[in-house]
Amino acid sequence: MNNYQDWEHYHGCIVSARGGWKIGEGVQCCGYDMMEDLVGKKTYMQVVILNATGRLPSKELADWIEAIHICLSWPDPRIWCNRIGALAGSARTTAVAASTLGVLAADSKSYGIKPLISGVGFIQYAYKEITKGISIDDFITNEVKKNGGKPYLMGYIRPIAKGDERIPAMEKVTKDLNFTIGKHLSLAYKIEEHLNKRFDETMNVNGYVSAFLSDQGYSAEEVYRIFSSLVISGVTACYTDTRERIKGGFSPLKTSDVTYTGKALRTVK
Amino acid sequence: MKSSFSDVKSRGEQFSVKIETKITLEQSPEHNPYLVEKQFIHGYDHLDLLENCNFADVIYLLLRGELPSKEQSILFNKLAIALINPGVRHPAAQASIIAGVGKSDTVNILPISLGVYGGTFDGAGEIEATIRLFRKYAKKPAIEAKEEALQEKIPSITQHYGDADTYANTLIENLLPYAKDGKIFSWLYQLQSLIYNENIGITKTSICAAILADLGFQPRQGASVMQLFAAPGLLAHGLEYSNKPLTSMVFEPDEAYTIEKLKNE
């Protein structure tokens, strides 16, 4: 008996529960025959979600998730991931390099995709706590204490601006697609009311998405995987703009634009 | 039910209007403010460094703000060589090979392989947490961390393919003469002597974490420096395959490809 049996199981072969191409037989995708069951019958976003979670969602839910992709990928090159795309265009990389590098940048704790993990985790935790009997006000007080007295609840408060124009847009999508407000989203609104009263702060789009998708039965990790290329469209747009202008034309800096605050000039020897 | 608070107002936060750096000072010629006539790195003329320093010393300067002492320079170089080649079987090297043989744009080979090397399996993914924890734990005798180590509760102290990592153990022995004066390296070395016979051990990540911490690197610098050290080996394997045909890479036959049922099917 050795200690590497677990790896021997995979040695010289591939085992996948997601699918694959059997030459001459067809392509399987999470239990579906890709050409028979999916192509032309399901939307691209349905298949994206299928591949990320192993479960095929309804077209309505996939449409909702597609809409939020639009909300979270706008072509303003001041947004951090988009700026990577703009700089890449200015530096004349390829579009694929620029777009994927922008997505990598959005794998950030501060914005983009990773906060969705905390957002879903937060609202699901909040629901459990409040179901146990704690009041929303006390819950908020406890959370604020954890953050040194600041109301930094995941899914609430937005950097740079107060309020979030994406929420009413998504509320309309939710209504148009005939989704009802579930227990997590309902709680998210109630927390917003209290937070606004006490701290003049509101829900952000992360909070809305996290609560809505919690109601649809997704875990935090599943949401993160579904949205793994969330910002790509805006990044490509910013790349395209600067790629069509002069080389080095995005945010060019003169040497005098940089403030040097380091060591005085010195010599090695 | 809908959000009543969707009016958007700027918070009026003050963003910087200029880039500020302690690292680079550039001076322009009179005729063009975008061109460079002289460049200084942490105060040293770039050309002075070019003439009088080796590559690793200038990397050290860029990241730490000072040129290394002779001992620090030797240790930093030894560590860089210790980690220079994760080996052809490492997932990051295999990714590099796939990028090479698949004729991915060669400018993408290194980012692809370094991205995979950023994982937590024998890579840089855990080094930040490891440095933080080692800095704290090394204040106490290694024996106090033994039980936690044996339960694999300390990051980067684990098994590799079911056993203690033999090559990491070889590397720590070989680095001992250069790193033994470091408090955190010494702690790690002692811990290894307490746990290795019980088939749990250090990893290349933990060696890197201990030495970088002793050299004064900050936790957030750890992953990038480890990626930098491993880059040459990863790149070499990808480039080796970049002129080979697609058929030179393994493509498992259908008989060796099992499609399992999804658990929720």
Nearest to B22 by CA among B53, B52, B44, B38: B44
Of B10, B18, B36, the CB nearest to A259: B18
Alpha helices in A11-79 (DSSP H): 44-53, 59-71
Binary contact (B34, A3; C-beta < 8 A): no
Counting the structural domains of chain A, the total is 3
Q: What is the arithmetic mean of pLDDT over B57-68?
A: 98
Pairing state of beta strands A26-29 and A19-22? antiparallel
pLDDT in the model for residue B3 = 64
| Residue-number span of the structural domain to which A31 is assigned | 16-57
Assess whether A126 and A201 both reside in one domain. yes
Binary contact (B115, A4; C-beta < 8 A): no
Given a cut of 80, whether residue B5 has pLDDT beyond it is no
Return the amino acid letter for A191.
Answer: I
The verdict on residue A262 lying in a domain is no
Assess whether A120 and A221 both reside in one domain. yes
Q: What tens digit of pLDDT does each residue of B99-146 get?
A: 999 999 999 999 999 999 999 999 999 999 999 999 999 999 999 999
Q: What tens digit of pLDDT does each residue of A157-179 get?
A: 887 888 889 999 999 999 999 99
Counting the structural domains of chain B, the total is 2
Give CA–CA dist A231/A112, Å, rounded: 7
Given a cut of 80, whether residue A234 has pLDDT beyond it is yes
Q: What tens digit of pLDDT does each residue of B147-201 get?
A: 999 999 999 999 999 999 999 999 999 999 999 999 999 999 999 999 999 999 9
* ipTM score: 0.81
Closest chain A residue to B3, measured at CA:
A189
Q: In what order do the strands lie in the sheet with A32-33?
A: A19-22, A26-29, A32-33
The verdict on residue B184 lying in a domain is yes
Nearest to A206 by CA among A134, A128, A115: A115
Shortest Cα distance, chain B CAs vs residue A99, angstroms:
13
Are A212 and B7 in contact, with CB atoms under 8 Å apart?
A: no
Q: For all residues of chain A together, what is the average pLDDT?
A: 94
Closest chain B residue to A202, measured at CA:
B5
Given a cut of 70, whether residue B61 has pLDDT beyond it is yes
Pairing state of beta strands A32-33 and A26-29? antiparallel
| Residue-number span of the structural domain to which B32 is assigned | 24-68
Q: What tens digit of pLDDT does each residue of A76-85 get?
A: 999 999 999 9
pLDDT in the model for residue A269 = 84
Return all residues near B205 (Cβ < 8 A) that are at least 6 apart: B122, B123, B124, B126, B127, B130, B156, B226
Assess whether A102 and A156 both reside in one domain. no
Given a cut of 70, whether residue B257 has pLDDT beyond it is yes
Assess whether A47 and A68 both reside in one domain. no
Q: For residue B73, list chain A residues with Cβ-Cβ distance below 8 A.
A: none
Q: For residue B159, list chain A residues with Cβ-Cβ distance below 8 A.
A: 3
Binary contact (A20, B259; C-beta < 8 A): yes
Confidence of residue A109 (pLDDT cuts 50, 70, 90): confident
Q: For residue B54, list chain A residues with Cβ-Cβ distance below 8 A.
A: none
Q: For residue A168, list chain B residues with Cβ-Cβ distance below 8 A.
A: 2-3, 6
Q: What is the arithmetic mean of pLDDT over B51-67?
A: 98
Residue A35 DSSP label: I
The verdict on residue A212 lying in a domain is yes
Q: For residue A210, list chain B residues with Cβ-Cβ distance below 8 A.
A: none
The verdict on residue B10 lying in a domain is no
Assess whether A130 and A212 both reside in one domain. yes
pLDDT in the model for residue B29 = 96
Given a cut of 70, whether residue B264 has pLDDT beyond it is no
